[in-house]
A and B are shown apart, each in its own frame.
Chain A
Amino acid sequence: MKEKNFNRIIKDRLFKIITIFFSFFSILPLFLILFHLIKNGISSINFEFIFNLPKPVGEKGGGIANAIVGTFILIFISFFLSTPIGISVGIYLSENKDKKLAKIVDFLVDILQGIPSIVLGIIAYLWIVKPMKNFSAFSGSIALSIMMLPVIIKSVKETLSLIPQSLKEASLSLGVPYYKTLLFVILPAGLSGIITGILIGISRIAGETAPLLFTAFGNPYMNLNIFKPIEALPHLIYNYAKSPFPEWHQKAWAASFILILIVFTLNFFSKWIIKRWKVRF
Chain B
Amino acid sequence: MFLTLIFNSYPSLKAFGIKFFYEKKWDPVFNEFGALPFLIGTILTSFLALIISIPFSLSLSIFLGEYYREGKLSLILKNLLDLLAGIPSIIYGFWGLFFLVPIIRNLEIKMGITPYGVGIFTASIILSIMIIPYSSSIGREVIELVPSEIKEAAYSLGATRYEVIKKVIIPYAISGILSGIFLSLGRALGETMAVTMVIGNANILPKNIFSPGNTMASVIANEFTEATGDLYLSALIEIGLFLFLITFIINFIGRILVRKYIVK
Contacts and interface: CB of A to CB of B under 8 A. Distances in A.
A207 B90 contact: yes
A236 to B, nearest CB: 10
Contacts, number: 185
Report whether over half of chain B's contact residues are helix, strand or loop; otherwise say mixed: helix
A119 B90 contact: no
A112 to B, nearest CB: 9
Interface string B164-193: 010000000000000000010010011111
B102 to A, nearest CB: 12
Contact of A27 (B77, B247, B255): B77
Given A116-B192, A125-B224, A23 B91 contact: no
Q: At the interface, is chain A mostly helix, strand, loop or mixed?
A: helix
Contacts of B27: none
A122 B88 contact: no
B91 A37 contact: yes
Contacts of B224: 121-122, 125, 213-214
Contacts of A22: 55-56, 59-60
Contacts of A234: 88, 90, 193
20 contacts: A8-B163, A18-B59, A33-B87, A36-B99, A111-B248, A114-B190, A114-B247, A114-B250, A114-B251, A121-B220, A122-B237, A208-B88, A209-B192, A210-B89, A214-B225, A234-B90, A241-B93, A252-B94, A260-B87, A260-B88
Interface of A: 8-9, 11-12, 14-16, 18-23, 25-27, 29-30, 32-33, 36-37, 110-111, 113-119, 121-123, 125-127, 203, 206-210, 213-214, 217, 234, 237-238, 241-242, 249, 252-253, 256, 259-260, 263-264, 267, 271
Given A238-B94, A238-B193, 10 more contacts: A16-B162, A21-B59, A27-B84, A36-B98, A110-B255, A118-B192, A119-B240, A122-B5, A214-B224, A249-B98
